[in-house]
A and B are shown apart, each in its own frame.
Chain A
Amino acid sequence: MQKYDFPDAQGHFGQFGGIYMAETLIPAVDELRRQYLHFRDDPDFKAEFAHELKHYVGRPSPIYHAKRLSEHLGGAQIYLKREDLNHTGAHKINNAIGQALLAKRMGKKRVIAETGAGMHGVATATVAARFGMECVVYMGAEDVQRQAPNVFRMKLLGATVVPVESGSRTLKDACNEAIRDWVTNCDNTFYIFGTAAGPHPYPMMVRDFQCVIGNEAKVQMPDMIGRQPDVVIACVGGGSNAIGMFYPYISEESVQLIGVEAGGHGIASGQHAAPLTANAKIGVLHGNKVYLMQDEDGQIIETHSISAGLDYPGVGPEHCLLKDIHRAQYVAINDDEAIGGFDALCRFEGIIPALESSHALAHAMKIAPTMGKEQAILVNLSGRGDKDMNTVARIKGITL
């Protein structure tokens, strides 16, 4: 494999990525890029980030051997990287802390964020409280309904939650509205973007902050089993937890990387959120060029997933590149299969996973029986499922 060194100075991952923004925001992303490149190598910044991850987030997150589930499946051993045990219950806090520390150094007193499932919104509201910043979170009106507990958490933390009524009233529309806020308030506002997508430097910066996941795993797995896993699996919406896990493993060529997209009602139904698996055309949305779910005319189409956090028509540019160069493989798990993964982890291991992470788990359960008992699968358990109680109850026909 050739040396892997992306993005280039203009934020391109091969033909993907870039800076596709309205002129008013070009100076803002340019300034962000310069400040990030400066502070990323600054010893004080690195030390403060590491300190926050250890003492506030609770890192390193453990790796757990899901023995009963593995035995039940009768194949490969399944290991879970427990991002669900982080403060606020998901991997999102890693990135939110990194960006908040940068915002602080840039003198920005106000932070904004978009959120789908609400985990990034909660993480941003949390760090805003932690660092004494004003916080506004944009959330699709439909997601406000289906993720009510997280809306309440954000409000408890002092954030203003703005329901977005335009378009499909989900994550992409929340992004649009956050960008509209940023274009109006770029002088005093830092946009804490939640996933490894958007205009450069976000895909690179979010990846770098999330790489703590893969970097820890690369040390933890040899400690546990004497070697790296055979397969690493993570769910992919925008793809921040997946790129944080994958990136440190890209150079480990013996490790197979599998990203799991939301198959919704099935790829054939058209009602899904799986641009990579469904071979969507390349397009431009939210500041970057990526594989994008769109109609023939280039209008963005509405996506469907049981999990709000994966319900997004695009995907980060680095995943597009990893697909094209065949370094990672992308598959889809539909709603029913994800619920199967969710139930299995609850019953076999006493862990309630997020519906997003349940997609990754369901794929692991699919391939584990086809593998040998001595083989190892590492699943990034990116978040916990407390926020999904209402959704799961509704699917099971239960009134809480």
Chain B
Amino acid sequence: MSRIQTVFDQLKQQGRKALIPFITAGDPNPQLTVPLMHALVEGGADLIELGVPFSDPMADGPTIQRASERALAHKVRLRDVLEMVAEFRKSDTNTPVVLMGYGNPIEAMGWDKFSERCAEVGVDGVLTVDFPPEESSEAFSQLTKHQLDPIFLLAPTSAQERVEAVVKAARGFIYYVSLRGVTGAANLDLVDVAGKVAAIRGQTSLPVGVGFGVRDAATAKAVAAIADAVVVGSRTVQEIENSGEQNAVANVKKLIAELRAAIDS
């Protein structure tokens, strides 16, 4: 059984919801990424989304754009991100890691080589924002060949038949984008999200995570009430940005602990 499924099964038995923070690999510098990943787990993360920096992050708002720029200023490459996961796995063999980013760095490495290396270092799932299922046949076959979960997005604009098509291709969990916009955008509409999540659940037994727009403990708690997982991206990255390199690890751990407490309360 995959690590992702194991974690969601355990949470379900415990009647708890998953907390999935996102950080960009290499932000604020490459040395801090693995300590930050451990801090996320210590704070109470169930699964980590690790962003692969890209020069043209079209689906991201200013906060995650800046994280990508900071990482690229340190010349962090996809192969370095994979090494970071290998380092993380030396002391954490349980927490699932999902790589999230854009397709081109993977295309440049080749899906076969990338998938093989992901399996070796202990990556569990891959989400490429700009590769919808229609364009993912090679990605899908290489990822699944190496027991990696291809994770796909659904959005407020996705109609019923689109939901059906996407859930068929997805593994691990469904990432529901809570609003029309880029990461870190305006406040989400919880009633609307609840309706959409229910509609997705009607089509799949996969867990449904909700992200884009979870800004604080209150929204995290509210989202946890209607979804299986809460994804916290821009807010986590913002904490790193505001903390400076000295305090980033401690502050991020504290933030995640607060969100964890809110979700479990």
On whether the beta carbons of B162 and A283 are closer than 8 Å, the reply is no
**Cβ of B155 and Cβ of A298 under 8 Å apart?**
no
Cβ contact within 8 Å between A180 and B58: yes
The answer to whether A166 touches B65 (Cβ under 8 A) is yes
Tell me which residues across on chain A come within 8 A of B256, comparing CB atoms. none
Residue from the list A18, A25, A167, A300 in contact with B104, Cβ < 8 A: A300
A179 near B152 with CB under 8 A, answer: no
Asked if A172 and B157 sit within 8 Å, CB to CB, the answer is no
Question: Residue of A at shortest CB range from B78?
Answer: A297
Q: Is A262 an interface residue (CB 8 A)?
A: no
Contact with B along A154-187 (1 / 0, CB 8 A): 0000000000001100001100100110011111
Q: How far is the CA of A27 from the CA of B166 in the complex (A)?
A: 13
A250: B residues at CB distance < 8 A: none
Q: Point out the residues of chain A lying under 8 angstroms from B154, CB to CB.
A: 23
A residues less than 8 Å from B58 (CB atoms) = 22, 176, 179-180, 286
On whether the beta carbons of B72 and A23 are closer than 8 Å, the reply is no
A21 at the interface (CB under 8 A from B): yes
What residues on B are CB-neighbors of A25 within 8 Å? 157
- B104, B107, B162, B185: the one contacting A184 at CB < 8 Å is B185
Residues of chain B from 43 to 79 with CB closer than 8 A to chain A in the complex: 54-59, 61, 65, 69, 72, 77-79
Which of B130, B153, B157 is A20 in contact with, Cβ under 8 Å? Answer: B130
Query: When the two chains form their complex, are residues A296 and B56 in contact, meaning their CB atoms are under 8 A apart?
Result: no
Residue in A closest to B59 when the chains form the complex, CB atoms: A22
Per-position contact with B for A184-219: 1 when CB-CB < 8 Å, else 0? 111100000000000000000000000000000000
Interface residues of B, Cβ cutoff 8 Å to A: 54-59, 61, 65, 69, 72, 77-79, 102-109, 129-132, 134-135, 152-159, 162, 166, 177, 180-182, 185
Residues of chain A touching chain B, judged by Cβ–Cβ distance below 8 Å, are 10, 18-28, 166-167, 172-173, 176, 179-180, 183-187, 281-287, 289, 292, 294, 296-301
Taking A19-B134, A297-B105 as known contacts, 14 extra A-B pairs with beta carbons closer than 8 A to each other, sorted by chain A number, are A18-B135, A23-B154, A167-B56, A184-B181, A184-B182, A284-B131, A285-B56, A286-B58, A298-B78, A298-B106, A299-B55, A299-B72, A299-B104, A301-B55
10 tightest Cβ-Cβ pairs between the two chains A and B = A298-B108, A298-B105, A24-B155, A23-B153, A297-B77, A184-B181, A299-B55, A298-B104, A22-B59, A27-B157
